[in-house]
Chains A and B, each alone.
Chain A
């Protein structure tokens, strides 16, 4: 066991944790933060995406002990005071959620993308969520929701293929 102290969604935590426990399992099992999902557990699906020190990472491939001293942001911290973030609100309005399993990771990746690229083109959105699998929606509603959250502009101007027809 090793002691880890870290900040998650602005709150400080200190816990003893097994050295071989993944950060994902630490969040879910030790801290009860079950919003972050485990899909493949091998860095392929992105369901476990969280922000660690300002970078999007697959938390299934990070050890909890590596997060000692880190600042994390998980899906639980995205809505503030009961108000959905722009991205969450757009996912809601655009029906970008079906089964919902990929949604926490997808929202984290989309939020990170819009921080880096405030007005992404459709192609940049597709690349921005390349690490997040969705097996329900076919991605179209998710892409539209991210375009919406970006607030129109270049994002909306790049029409979807459907709108071109």
Chain B
């Protein structure tokens, strides 16, 4: 049994935002609940109001057009994303990383936006979305603002979100559509394991990009590299950018080592 809270299921964005404005720190929003209900059960979260986003039609949008890019609404699940034809065929880095996230059942509930808002250093969507230059749109009863994911995630489970705001969507600009991509994740078992360390990579017409998760408080995006960059240069840049720690899953030394291994493999495979 979870601790007592009131459940709300608003059916419009206005209703949702005024609820959130009224309850602020006492409220928490959710869609998949795959992080929230684990946290509530463990006593780590004790919200008085739990607000379900799934009946707000505006938040369910998953769409692509060349002008606006890929729009991923707050309630779009990871499985919806990876099965979406544009993602499947034209954003390989998202497809591969999405498939690596937790288990099939969890991906049926877990959302892409939730993975970013949770801002865990080992989240699987952070590094691919950093490579693609994605932005988040925050909305509240007072207005909306947009910022790059790079700025949105500020630390371990910390973001710029205000208590009366939600992330309504992630937007992936069309700039890197059809870029070759790959994602390598070190974990102890296949299925429901947190990443020990992971690296995402894309190769567009003009540049290569790499981003690394589980090796610093936030996912880390490296600078753009020329297509024919040699492996030493990427590895050197990565080692300067990360600050891995020792923890129950792995040592800092092994994390650093595997970042280099994955960079080398991705340079070969993302062609």
Binary contact track B1-12/A, C-beta < 8 Å → 1, others 0? 111111101000
Q: How long is the Cα–Cα vector from A62 to B7 in the complex, in angstroms?
A: 12
8 Å CB interface, B1-33 against A: 1-7, 9, 32-33
Look across to chain B and name the residue whose beta carbon is closest to the beta carbon of A46. B105
Quick check: B103 and A66 within 8 Å, CB to CB?
Answer: no
Inter-chain contacts of B109 with A (CB < 8 A): 57-58, 61-62
Give the residues in chain B near A41, CB-CB below 8 Å.
41
Provide the residues of chain B in CB contact with A43, threshold 8 Å: 34, 37-38, 102, 105-106, 192
A residues in contact with B105, CB < 8 Å: 43, 46, 49, 56-58, 109, 131
Docked CA distance A55–B54 (Å): 15
Please indicate which of the listed interface residues B2, B4, B102 has the most CB atoms of chain A within 10 Å of its own CB.
B2
Interface: A114 (CB within 8 A): no
Within 8 A of A (CB), among B176-215: 190-192
Q: Is A79 an interface residue (CB 8 A)?
A: no
Contact present for A128 and B37 (CB under 8 Å): no
Asked if residues A58 and B1 are in contact (CB atoms below 8 Å), the reply is no
CA distance A21 to B41 in the complex (A): 11
Q: In whole angstroms, what is the CA distance A21 to B5 when docked?
A: 10
B104 in the interface (beta carbon within 8 A): yes
A12 at the interface (CB under 8 A from B): no
Residues of A within 8 A of B106 (CB): 43, 58, 61, 131
Residues of B within 8 A of A122 (CB): none
Q: Which residue of A lies closest to B5 (CB)?
A: A20
| Smallest beta-carbon distance A44→chain B, Å | 5
Docked pose: A62 CA to B100 CA in angstroms: 22
Decide if A130 touches B192 in the complex (CB within 8 Å).
yes
> B108 an interface residue at 8 Å Cβ cutoff?
yes
Cβ-neighbour of B7 out of A2, A25, A44, A60 (below 8 A): A2
User: Main SS of chain A's interface residues?
Assistant: mixed
Q: Is B52 an interface residue (CB 8 A)?
A: yes
Residue among A18, A49, A61 making CB contact with B37, cutoff 8 Å: A61
| A22: Cβ under 8 A from any B Cβ | yes
Query: Are B104 and A61 in contact (CB-based, < 8 A)?
Result: no
Smallest CB separation, A112 vs chain B (Å) = 8
Asked if A19 meets B6 with Cβ closer than 8 Å, knowing A41-B41, A57-B108, A62-B33, the reply is: yes
Q: A21-B1, A25-B1, A43-B34 are in contact. List 18 more A-B contacts (CB 8 A).
A: A18-B4, A20-B5, A22-B1, A22-B37, A43-B38, A44-B192, A57-B108, A57-B109, A58-B105, A58-B109, A61-B34, A61-B106, A63-B7, A63-B33, A66-B54, A126-B190, A130-B192, A131-B102
Which of A's residues lie within 8 Å of B, judged by CB? Answer: 2, 18-22, 25, 41-44, 46, 49, 55-58, 60-63, 65-66, 109, 126-128, 130-131
